[in-house]
Amino acid sequence: MAAYVGHVAEDDFRRDGSSGGLTTWVARELLRRGDVDAVAHIHPVEDPDHDGRFFRYRLSRTGDELRSGARSRYYPVEMSGILREILSTPGRYAVIGIPCFIKAVQLLRREQPVVRERIRHTLGLFCGHMKSARFVESLAWQMGVGLQDVERVEFRRKLEGRPASWYNAVLTLRDGRVVDRDWWHLVDGDWGAGFFMDAACNFCDDVMAETADVSFGDAWVEPYSSDWRGTNVVVVRSPRIASILSQGLAENRLQLTEVDADFVARTQAAGLRQRREGLAYRLAHHRGPITPLKRVRPDADTPTSQRRLVYRMRKTISAWTHRVFRFARSFRVRALYIAWARGALTTYHAVAYRRGRWGALVSRLGLR
């Protein structure tokens, strides 16, 4: 129905969110206006000792509960527990999730009338890929602490005066200490390289949570990407959500500019290339027992030689990260994984960005 770029102008929603604060704001408005009784979203686990996890889905029934769970979570979770709670407790619910989770909810709504009645709204998050839980352990390794010492994880801390894309990861330890490191100083900190990526993400074609009532992402184009405070791009498909956003804009609670589909696509250009051209190339080379049917056909010819190398390297890195990390973890040899990841990242950068000696070789070979 509509698309916007902007941020929340009231209270501290923007400050407390990873981007422009709009996901939490819309969810809070649904609660405040009585559209839903609770919102299912990912929240930090208060006691990671319980099952070794740092995040899980939970229901928030107040604005304060909801806001305490703001920010991005690059961590695997599952929905069975929260869906059982929704099934056992009458009420109206909203669900926040990445594209595959929202699609699963929509399929469940199609099959089960009680779920369709109770889950009234779905709020989607743009997604590049999902990380395994070992990514947190890798952060701890590289910051010189043990995973058992970590109490809380923050993947994207905002720092004034720096572009929003310059992520800073923060670990709060059980003894009260706080350690942090910028993502570009991590051996696996380049998101596009695919470290710790789930294998299923190689076959996903949904960047923008297309089945959700409304979807939120980061505006990765200038001048927005340079604003350290963060800026959302929003795709609205629900008349009710559109009305809430329009009213918030009229009341100066939101600062939004309407944009077209081409603008939204530009903000997610890398992700769309990976899920369209890259997906077509991966399908052409897939050798598994089942090749999924996607919106793109297998195509090994369209990508340039350089892009083919990039897509192959991403898939290789995503597969071998888990294997090398598991081996290094089993034998308690952290340096092995770090050395391997550093080498893989250097090679990936040489191919993708033509950096260093390998990049010069790529240029001399005429790969384009």
Q: DSSP string covering 297-351, please?
A: ---SSSS-HHHHHHHHHHHHHHHHHHHHHHHHHHTT-HHHHHHHHHHHHHHHHHH
Percentage of the residues of the chain whose pLDDT score is greater than 70: 95
Residue 285 shares a structural domain with residue 266 = no
Domain range enclosing 178: 134-193
Q: Do the strands 214-218 and 119-125 form a parallel or antiparallel pair, or are they unpaired?
A: parallel
pLDDT for 1: 77
Q: What is the DSSP string of 97-137?
A: E-HHHHHHHHHHHHH-HHHHHHEEEEEEE--S--B-THHHH
The proportion of the chain whose per-residue pLDDT surpasses 90, expressed as a percent, equals 89
Q: Is the pLDDT confidence value at 363 over 60?
A: no
> Where residue 48 falls among pLDDT bands split at 50, 70, 90?
low
Amino acid at 290: I
Average pLDDT over residues 69-94: 95
User: For 252-273, what is each residue's pLDDT tens digit?
Assistant: 999 999 999 999 999 999 999 9
Peptide bond into 223 cis (omega under 30): yes
Question: What is the number of domains present in the chain?
Answer: 3
One domain, residues 68 and 214:
yes
Residue 356 in this model has a pLDDT that exceeds 70: no
Report the alpha-carbon distance of residue 345 to residue 70 in Å, rounded: 30
Residue 237 one-letter amino acid: R
Residues 168 and 305 in one domain: no
- Measured CA distances, 2 to 103, 230, 264 (Å): 20, 21, 11
* Residues 212, 356 within the same domain: no
- Nearest alpha-carbon partner for 141 in 342, 331, 332: 332
Same domain, 43 and 98: yes
- 105 and 225 in one domain? yes
What is the pLDDT, as a whole number, of residue 355? 59
Sign of the four-CA dihedral 48, 53, 55, 60: negative
Mean pLDDT of 84-105: 97
Q: Are 229 and 7 in contact (CB under 8 A)?
A: yes
Mean pLDDT in residue range 353-360: 59
Residue range 216-238: mean pLDDT, rounded: 97
Helical pair 134-142 and 334-353, crossing angle rounded to 10 deg: 100
Please indicate, yes or no, whether residues 293 and 352 belong to a single structural domain of this protein.
Answer: yes
User: Could you say which of 245, 271, 297 is where a domain stops?
Assistant: 271
| E-assigned strand segments in 229-304 | 232-236, 254-258
What's the whole-number average pLDDT of the chain? 93
Task: Judge if 216 and 322 occupy the same domain.
Answer: no
Do 155 and 250 sit in the same domain of this protein?
no
Edge-to-edge strands of the sheet including 150-154?
A: 150-154, 168-173, 178-182
Please indicate, yes or no, whether residues 261 and 216 belong to a single structural domain of this protein. yes
The mean pLDDT of 62-88, rounded to a whole number, is 94
Give Cα separations from 113 to 28, 52, 119 (angstroms): 26, 35, 10
Q: Rounded to whole angstroms, how far apart are CA atoms 277 and 193? A: 16
Task: Among 271, 297, 312, identify where a domain stops.
Answer: 271
Based on the fold, state whether residues 251 and 283 are members of the same structural domain. no
